[in-house]
């Protein structure tokens, strides 16, 4: 499970594009034509993705998400940890 003091960065082999209000993640190294390798992020996921920049700890991202979306700390934690776990599984982020 991710820890609050950890920093993450985006893997350079993943590109992101905003299309029709959604953020799409596409791996550029393999399976580009495979639709199962393309990932769509909702608004909260897109904001978390933007904050995964090596500069912010997970704890700082939780505080930012909590303030921006006016959700509880528990909800912000759950959303962040779920997304970070999924992004790690698809090799879209790595610990900095």
DSSP string, the chain: ---TT-BEEE-TTEEEEEETTEEEEEESSS-TT-GGG-EEE-HHHHHHHHH-SSSSBHHHHHHHHHHHHT--HHHHHHHHHHHHHHHHHTTSEEE-
Domains observed in the chain? 8-95 (1.10.10.1150)
Bridge partners of 40, per DSSP, are: 24
Q: How many CA atoms lie within 13 A of 6 on its CB side?
A: 14
| Residue-by-residue pLDDT tens, the chain, 96 positions | 788 899 999 999 899 999 888 899 988 865 555 556 789 999 999 999 999 999 999 999 999 999 999 999 999 999 999 999 999 998 999 999
């Amino acid at each position: 499970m991710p820890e609050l003091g950890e920093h993450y960065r985006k893997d350079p082999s993943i590109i992101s594009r905003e299309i029709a209000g959604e953020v799409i993640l596409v791996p550029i190294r393999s399976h580009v034509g495979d639709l199962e390798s393309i990932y769509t992020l909702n608004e909260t996921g897109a904001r978390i993705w933007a904050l995964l920049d090596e500069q912010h700890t997970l704890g700082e991202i939780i505080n930012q998400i909590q303030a921006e979306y006016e959700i509880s700390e528990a909800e912000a934690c759950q959303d962040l940890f779920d997304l970070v776990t999924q992004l790690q599984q698809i090799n879209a982020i790595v610990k900095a």
